[in-house]
Chains A and B, each alone.
Chain A
Amino acid sequence: MSLRTKLLLLSLLTLILPWAGWQYAQQMETTLRRAQEDALLTTAEVLSRVVASEPELLYRVADLRRNFDPSRGDLFAPLLLARPLLDGFADEWPQPARPVPGFDSTASAGANDAEPKVRLGVHGRSMHLYVEVAEHALKYEVPPRDDTAPPAKSDRVIVLTHDEFGHERAWSISAIAPGPLLVRGCEIGAPWQPSGDEVPYVEGIWRETEQGYAIELRAPLNLFGTQLTIQALDASDAVVAQMRGLAWIHTGSEALKQRLEQYGPDGVRVSVVDAHGWLLARAGSVGVAAPGRYPGLERDDEGFTRSIYRVLFSSDAARPQPYGLPYGMWGPPVDAARDGKRNAIWFDKAGGEPSLVRAAVPIPYGNDNLGALVVEQPGEQLVQVREIALTRLLNLTVVATLFVIVVTIVFAARLSLRIRRLSRAASTALTSEGRIEPHIPDTGSRDELGALARSYDTLLGRLQEYTNYLQTLGTKLSHELRTPLTIVSSSLDNLSSEEALPQPAQNYVERARSGTSRMHAILTALSEATRVEQIIEHTDRVRFDLRELIRNMGQAYQQSFAGHRVDTQVPQEPCWVEGSPDLIAQLLDKLMDNASDFTPQGGPIAIALERGPRSCTLSVRNEGPLLPPLLDNRLFESLVTSRSSVNGKPHLGLGLYIVRLIADFHRGAVNATNLPDDTGVVVSLELPLSGR
């Protein structure tokens, strides 16, 4: 794994920032919620005391509290939000979202035809009544010819009300056709003889249904008492359907609603349920109020990032659940409040309602509870504030992370660039020709890399000194050895010329002399490279024809290397190069010496000059042992040799070094390779052609 990748991974650690921020936002939100809950509960308790001071707002009569029981057929008349249209259809009547005792959601005659389906509702000062009766042979009233005659028999509905003072009142409801109702007062008790007077302020509609008929009417609230029973009669006054008996009527309280509107604070919705959960009044609304207070609320409400974060960080609010409105509120937190426990719950938004917090407190009445008071306040603002905070936090963090990553990448790139430069410099410090040319970059830096570069520099500098020492060792050695050697050889000269030596002594002197002359030769060879360098320094470049030179030398070699077959090939056209013909001749001498040493007696040595477009190649090819594989081009370094001394000639590995010196002087490249068929070696020198 590269340094860059590692640092990149490291920079990903900055992603811990959004997590921490999210934790903080959660914490903050919890605190804010607690505060809002507490405030709401306090509001609810204040309101509940107001409501508790007037219990008659909850129950019109005290008996209702004890006796109301829907399972016996008692009826609850909720506050209707909209005034139902008097059309004989029940579809605009509110449908509770959950089963409510005593309420048949289908609102049609079915299982029990003997009972009429009855619904009540309060709107303002009016009571709305909807009754469905199953009967097959409908018989409408026939209007009499004169007003005095009693109406003829027809299908009708008898409504008997009973108020808290024990007064009873009965209406007979009939129609002459589907359409407006005829509502008359009637005698109590069979045969429910209607009087001639129509009951004022009562209006309604008669509609035929598949099973029978339905009537829908509206009457002033005070016409209804506390109890009610309804029966349907046919034309022969026989009972078609009737309620099980006198049913208590429990209604929502318009007065309570007004009281709540009066006391309830803005922006909250206050509901009051009775001890059984029936909704008595509801006031206020929970629409999102004044979003302009938060600039963030208005923009990007459904933005892409927001929606992502909404998914990522879903709130812990409870799913909304059906309560059974507008008939009542059954479910948390209202149920607990009816049992005397104050509490508050957050709800998600759903069904057109914003997300809200719902606080419920009991309404105390002595030691008992009259019911519960529910206060609802939208939590949307808080949720949105949280979302905005989180969004901003996340955006900032993403930007910060990107910034850190970019900075890290740049830093890592720079670092690895420096390291690569250093390693490249270190690997190229040793040139292919075997010289050490340290150009270590970055040695001025004060960091660890700078220190490393400096150590490299020092190391290579020492190595360079050492190499230089090695290269000059030959010269120094020859210089130092020459004087004592001269002492020996001059002494031998003196000895042999002093007087006639005995024959054995003469032999010894001769041997000693041949030894010293060999040593002289060695010393001369040792310092030859240095002399060539000095000559090169003082050599002027001239333009000459390499072809001519090679041809001449080839001829000369045929004589001087009589032990081998010397074959020379030159191109047709001249090869003009710049340099020193003397040096090139010397170079070729060295190559020939080398080649002849390796070539078996009588073997061929081929000198070839080839002309390329911009350069010419001089090569000397010979049969013989191959180059050792590992030596490569180090052959051209000073004091490197691949062979041990043969036939007494000193071999110090300087010949090819001199070749390289001369090749360098001519800006040429020299190369030694084995022949493709591994029969021998070819040394080639590539020289640039002279431009002119």
Chain B
Amino acid sequence: MKKVIAIVEDEPALRDNYAAAFQRHGYAVRTYGTRKEAIDAFRARLPDLAVIDVGLRDEPEGGFELCRELRSLSAELPIIFLTARDSELDAVSGLRLGADDYLTKDLSLTHLMARVTALFRRIDALTQPSNRDQIVTRGSLLIDTARLHATWQEKPLGLTLTEFWIVHALAKNPGHVKNRQQLMDAASVVLDDNTITSHIKRVRRKFQAIDQAFDSIETMYGMGYRWKE
């Protein structure tokens, strides 16, 4: 059965482009132009993945609102924000609302497809037994690349996909300095330096939420970051 992807985007041209790309990759696509339209449809039937624009025609924050409603309908439904707004504040609020990823529209379709595929893979993996080969252990850190899931001291970190790949890239080779470009490549995103910095910051915070003394991610100024054991 084809996975159903709901695209909520007020720009028809963009909507159709995304729909075409997803269909080409073998997904069933449903598109909505407004929040009301979308939420009505979601109440009737939940999609497998929702790609939501933040600004929806007359509602600048309509995407956030929709995300909140959608989360109340389903706690597990993967949600990706795809937006022209690239401010730090928007990203933080989007992720806080329970979105699985926050992507700017600079992202190429190829990258977008990769992220979506990865996301589905993670969901699928959660339902399957974990493969030993796909598990990386670094001290208290445990990374399951098959399920795209990471824990610290056996507690789930709740990383987004981008964060997951960043942590994975750092932890795979401890002591190796990964510069920003390498981290971006690992996460399959095009981000500027500041976004990487704030991603790292968020990741650290997630670790520190579990363990106050966490300091394994080290900043090598001018070079990048490395995992310290």
Which residues, 443 to 493 on A, are CB-close (under 8 Å) to B? 478-479, 482-483, 485-487, 489-491, 493
Q: A585-B222, A586-B194 are in contact. Are A486 and B87 (CB under 8 A)?
A: no
Does B194 lie within 8 Å of A487, measured CB to CB?
no
Q: A489-B108, A498-B24, A534-B89 are in contact. Are A549 and B221 (CB under 8 A)?
A: yes
Q: Say which one of B13-21, B37-45, B127-135, B142-150 lies at the interface with A.
A: B13-21
Query: Bound state CA distance, A497 and B109, in angstroms?
Result: 10
Query: Bound state CA distance, A532 and B110, in angstroms?
Result: 29
Q: A483-B84, A487-B13, A530-B87 are in contact. Are A493 and B221 (CB under 8 A)?
A: no
Does B193 lie within 8 Å of A586, measured CB to CB?
yes
Q: A140 within 8 Å of B by Cβ?
A: no
- Return the CB mask of B189-228 against A: 1 if under 8 Å, else 0: 0101111011000000000000000000001111100000
Instruction: Determine the chain B residues whose CB is within 8 A of the CB of A16 once the complex forms.
Output: none
Partner of B21, one of A497, A523, A585: A497
Instruction: Determine the chain B residues whose CB is within 8 A of the CB of A483 once the complex forms.
Output: 11, 14, 84, 105
Instruction: Determine the chain A residues whose CB is within 8 A of the CB of B198 once the complex forms.
Output: 535
User: Which A-chain residue is minimally distant from B107 (CB atoms)?
Assistant: A486
In the complex, what's the smallest C-beta–C-beta distance from A581 to chain B, in angstroms? 6
Does B109 lie within 8 Å of A520, measured CB to CB?
no
Does B106 lie within 8 Å of A486, measured CB to CB?
yes
Query: Bound state CA distance, A157 and B36, in angstroms?
Result: 162
User: Which A-chain residue is minimally distant from B108 (CB atoms)?
Assistant: A493
Instruction: Determine the chain B residues whose CB is within 8 A of the CB of A498 once the complex forms.
Output: 24
Q: A588 within 8 Å of B by Cβ?
A: yes
User: Which A-chain residue is minimally distant from B11 (CB atoms)?
Assistant: A483
Query: Bound state CA distance, A556 and B219, in angstroms?
Result: 13
Instruction: Determine the chain A residues whose CB is within 8 A of the CB of B106 once the complex forms.
Output: 482, 486, 520, 523-524
A interface SS class: helix
Q: B88 within 8 Å of A by Cβ?
A: yes
Does A531 lie within 8 Å of B223, measured CB to CB?
no
In the complex, what's the smallest C-beta–C-beta distance from B18 to chain A, in angstroms? 7
In the complex, what's the smallest C-beta–C-beta distance from B11 to chain A, in angstroms? 6
Q: A489-B108, A538-B88, A555-B222 are in contact. Are A497 and B192 (CB under 8 A)?
A: no
Does A531 lie within 8 Å of B222, measured CB to CB?
no
Does A493 lie within 8 Å of B13, measured CB to CB?
no
Does A487 lie within 8 Å of B197, measured CB to CB?
no
Does B193 lie within 8 Å of A589, measured CB to CB?
yes
Instruction: Determine the chain A residues whose CB is within 8 A of the CB of B17 once the complex forms.
Output: 487, 490-491, 493-494
Q: A389 within 8 Å of B by Cβ?
A: no
Query: Bound state CA distance, A586 and B180, in angstroms?
Result: 12
- Return the CB mask of A180-215 against B: 1 if under 8 Å, else 0: 000000000000000000000000000000000000
Q: B85 within 8 Å of A by Cβ?
A: yes
In the complex, what's the smallest C-beta–C-beta distance from A16 to chain B, in angstroms? 73
In the complex, what's the smallest C-beta–C-beta distance from A414 to chain B, in angstroms? 49
Q: B86 within 8 Å of A by Cβ?
A: yes
- Return the CB mask of A492-535 against B: 1 if under 8 Å, else 0: 01100110000000000000000000001001100110111011
Which residues, 545 to 569 on A, are CB-close (under 8 Å) to B? 549, 552-557, 560
Q: A582 within 8 Å of B by Cβ?
A: yes
Partner of B11, one of A487, A489, A532: A487
Query: Bound state CA distance, A589 and B223, in angstroms?
Result: 11
In the complex, what's the smallest C-beta–C-beta distance from A525 to chain B, in angstroms? 8
Does A535 lie within 8 Å of B194, measured CB to CB?
yes
User: Which A-chain residue is minimally distant from B109 (CB atoms)?
Assistant: A493
Does B221 lie within 8 Å of A581, measured CB to CB?
yes
Partner of A486, one of B84, B110, B194, B195: B84
User: Which B-chain residue is minimally distant from A491 (CB atoms)?
Assistant: B17
Query: Bound state CA distance, A581 and B219, in angstroms?
Result: 9
User: Which A-chain residue is minimally distant from B177 (CB atoms)?
Assistant: A556
Query: Bound state CA distance, A460 and B223, in angstroms?
Result: 44
Query: Bound state CA distance, A498 and B109, in angstroms?
Result: 12
Instruction: Determine the chain A residues whose CB is within 8 A of the CB of B85 once the complex forms.
Output: 479
Query: Bound state CA distance, A554 and B222, in angstroms?
Result: 8
Instruction: Determine the chain B residues whose CB is within 8 A of the CB of A589 once the complex forms.
Output: 193, 222
Instruction: Determine the chain B residues whose CB is within 8 A of the CB of A554 once the complex forms.
Output: 222
Does A490 lie within 8 Å of B18, measured CB to CB?
yes
Instruction: Determine the chain B residues whose CB is within 8 A of the CB of A482 once the complex forms.
Output: 84, 86, 104-106
Partner of B14, one of A486, A557, A584: A486
Q: A483-B84, A535-B88, A538-B88 are in contact. Are A490 and B109 (CB under 8 A)?
A: yes
- Return the CB mask of B104-124 against A: 1 if under 8 Å, else 0: 111011100000000000000
Q: What are the nearest 4 A-B pairs in CB distance? A: A553-B222, A556-B222, A493-B109, A486-B105
- 17 interchain pairs, CB-CB under 8 A: A479-B84, A482-B84, A482-B105, A483-B84, A483-B105, A485-B105, A490-B14, A493-B110, A494-B24, A498-B24, A531-B195, A534-B89, A549-B221, A552-B221, A553-B221, A582-B221, A586-B197
Beyond contacts A493-B109, A554-B222: 16 other A-B pairs, Cβ-Cβ < 8 A, are A486-B106, A487-B11, A490-B14, A490-B109, A493-B21, A493-B110, A494-B17, A520-B106, A530-B87, A531-B194, A538-B88, A560-B222, A582-B197, A586-B193, A589-B193, A589-B222
Residues of B within 8 A of A (CB): 11, 13-14, 17-18, 20-21, 24, 84-89, 104-106, 108-110, 190, 192-195, 197-198, 219-223
